[in-house]
Homo-oligomer: A and B are copies of this chain.
Amino acid sequence: MAAKILLIFLCVNVISFLVNASSRPHMCAVESGGKCSESGEWKGEFFPGIPKITYEGPRSRNRLAYKWYNAEEVIFGRKMKDWLRFSVAFWHTFRGTGGDPFGAPTKYWPWEDGTNSVAMAKRRMRANFEFINKLGIDRWCFHDRDIAPEGKTIQETNSNLDEVVKLAKELQGDNIRPLWGTAQLFMHPRYMHGGCTSSELGVYVYAATQVKKAMEVTHYLGGENYVFWGGREGYQTLLNTDMEFELDHMAKFLEAAVAYKKKIGFKGTLLIEPKPQEPTKHQYDWDAATTMNFLQRHGLVGEFKLNIECNHATLSGHSCHHDVETARINGLLGNIDANSGDPQTGWDTDQFLTDIGEATMIMLSVIKNGGLEPGGLNFDAKLRRESTDVEDMFIAHIVGMDTLARGLRNAAKLIEDGSLSELIHMRYASFDNELGALIEAGKANFEMLEKKAIEWGEPKVASAKQELAEMIFQSFL
């Protein structure tokens, strides 16, 4: 029997997913060391042979087509593209090198000229917009240092940024906008002890200057949100750290950011993105609840929302759905980094989400939230180190977008069906009466409740029907 199956295994021949793709652009050779082309004007397309990606439906075997994402299709009165509000992450997509702590870069995209010049930054920005247009989406997000190189002085750095941002604004045209911008306060060695929580005054000052500029350019580009991710705001050991001091500085910094936002008239949402650890042993914005605690303690609640990343949630010991729901019920769900981690891996793998069940749970929360606008779903996800074809950039985004689109479709069907919400509703039905109302109004004191308990005796407790809930859920996948 095994032999027979093996035969089937090997003899198959019509494999549409694997059709030859010789006309598509190739990565340049390892020996190039990253110098893949001459400097100067880039001629022609960056992605020749890659068509505009269109919707072909679930039966399509075309790897360069959407099977589930149909941008204009209406679900619950809203277009799919307006529920999903996809955004390409510039850093992973255009600055990801495939490097890791044990390995040198593996990606040598053909348009790279081996320099970190402003000219190269502009060429890369053109590639970004061609990529976005071919995917047919209309949002992107960035860190300041991804898109333009640091100069020798702050002024030179800002000038570099201005030059690239000016081009980006042109390329955006009428339809494309940043979902959000942010300042990269973790890569440069000056930030090794943190940005706003650094033990060095000079670094706090520098970080403020950088955030100020990043907010300005985000505003200039019409960005809808501005993000804070504190990858270095934390500690490596408590033995050398004054945690209270650092947290207070973080609060003062965010206060100043709020003030500056108002001053420049930026109307976007300020978002904090929690992550429990990595690169730091402990990061202060550990998870949604920890971040909300900080915001409350420092009187910052009304000024911020949260950007929940799935892989960060799982690293903090929660399901992605949990942290999304925690943010939602606290009124702070602002944006989702819809990626995925490996469940057996203790670091951020930033994979494209391909789990249909997880996507469905996320989209249930998004629908309950009435959508995410002005936030959206961005792909804080990167190609695997070993995925080195130019077309892999497209394949990864397509499967990530299709997974969430499939999740949206499933979630909508689950809601329409109503079985699952009815199951929940029935579980809590015993509170739908006068005493339940008193409790919820804060008017049921212990003496009153004791009287009831003695009167009623042993309470009846119904099954939680978890397996039925799982059956219903699965039947819509």
With A205-B453, A316-B317, A419-B17 already in contact, the answer to whether A104 and B187 are too (CB < 8 A) is: yes
If the complex has contacts A209-B446, A370-B1, are A190 and B30 also in contact, measured as CB distance less than 8 A? Answer: yes
- Stoichiometry (number of copies): 4
- Find out whether the CB atom of B463 lies under 8 angstroms from the CB atom of A12: no
The 3 closest A-B pairs by CB, nearest first: A346-B346, A12-B418, A202-B459
A residues 186-230 in Cβ contact with B at 8 Å: 186-193, 198-206, 208-209, 211-212
- Residues A168-189 near B (CB distance < 8 A): 186-189
- Let me know if B189 and A106 touch, CB within 8 A: yes
Contact call A243/B329, Cβ cutoff below 8 A: yes
Q: A421 — which chain B residues lie within 8 A by C-beta?
A: 9-10, 12
In chain A between 322 and 369, which residues have their CB closer than 8 angstroms to a CB of chain B? 322, 325-326, 329-330, 342-349, 352, 354-357, 361, 367-369
**Interchain CB contact under 8 A, B279 and A103:** yes
CA distance A94 to B305 in the complex (A): 44
Q: Which B residues lie within 8 Å of A463 (CB)?
A: 27, 386-389, 392
Cα–Cα distance between A477 and B199 once the two chains are bound (Å): 27
Q: Contact between B450 and A212 (Cβ–Cβ < 8 Å)?
A: yes
- The 8 Å CB contact of A461, one of B8, B17, B30, B186, is B30
Chain B residues whose C-beta falls within 8 Å of the C-beta of A106 in the assembled complex: 189, 192
Kindly report which residue of chain B lies nearest to residue A429, judged by CB atoms.
B199
Q: Is A471 an interface residue (CB 8 A)?
A: yes
Q: Decide if B428 touches A199 in the complex (CB within 8 Å).
A: yes
5 examples of A-B residue contacts, CB within 8 angstroms: A12-B421, A155-B454, A189-B461, A242-B424, A243-B329
- Closest B residue by C-beta to A459: B202
A343 / chain B contacts, CB cutoff of 8 Å: 314, 319, 343
Q: Does A98 contact B (CB under 8 A)?
A: yes
- Report if A440 contacts B (CB, 8 A): yes
Least CB distance, A267 to chain B, in whole angstroms: 18
Interface-lining segment among A36-44, A117-125, A431-439: A431-439
Please indicate the chain B residues that have their CB under 8 angstroms from the CB of A240 in the complex. Answer: 423-424, 427, 464-466, 469
Taking the closest CB of chain B, its distance from the CB of A389, in whole angstroms, is: 4
Chain B residues near A475: list those with CB within 8 A. Answer: 17, 58, 61, 67
Q: A241 vs B255: C-alpha distance in the bound complex, in angstroms?
A: 36
Q: Are B399 and A467 interface neighbours, CB within 8 A?
A: yes
A2 touches B368 (CB 8 A): yes
Question: Which residues of chain B are within 8 angstroms of A387 by Cβ–Cβ distance?
Answer: 463-467
Binds B, one of A47-55, A130-138, A159-167, A288-296: A288-296
* Known contacts A189-B106, A199-B427; A77 and B461 CB within 8 A of each other: no
Is there an interface contact between B238 and A361, defined as CB atoms closer than 8 Å?
A: yes
Q: Are A464 and B193 in contact (CB under 8 A)?
A: yes
In Å, the complex CA distance between A29 and B462 comes to 11
A279–B431 CA distance with the chains assembled, in angstroms: 25
Given the complex, which residues of B lie within 8 Å of A203, measured CB to CB?
459, 461
CB nearest neighbor in B for A319: B344
Q: With A and B bound together, what is the CA distance between A474 and B418 in angstroms? A: 26
A15-B422, A277-B344 are known; give 7 further A-B pairs, CB within 8 A.
Answer: A17-B471, A63-B471, A98-B189, A102-B232, A106-B189, A243-B329, A345-B346
Report chain B residues within 8 Å CB of A294: 289
A427–B287 Cα distance when bound, in Å, is: 27
Within 8 A of B (CB), among A34-82: 58, 61, 63, 67, 76-78
| CB-CB contacts below 8 Å: A283-318 with B | 286-287, 289-290, 292-294, 296-297, 314-318
Contact B317 A276 (CB under 8 A): yes
Whole-angstrom distance between the alpha carbons of A426 and B242 in the complex?
11
Give, as a whole number of angstroms, the nearest-CB distance from A360 to chain B: 11
Contacts of A29 in B (CB 8 A): 458, 460
Chain B residue at minimum C-beta to C-beta distance from A78: B1
CB contacts (< 8 Å) of A318 on chain B: these are: 282, 344
Determine which of B293, B314, B462 lies in contact with A292 in the assembled complex, contact meaning CB atoms within 8 Å: B293
Tell me if B461 and A193 are in contact (CB < 8 A).
Answer: yes
**Judging by beta carbons under 8 Å apart, are A466 and B236 in contact?**
yes
A403 adjacent to chain B (CB < 8 Å): yes
**Those of A400-419 within 8 Å (CB) of chain B:** 402-403, 415-419
Q: Which residues of B contact A252 (CB under 8 A)?
A: 439-440, 442, 444
For the complex, what is the distance from the CA of A398 to the CA of B352, rounded to whole Å?
32
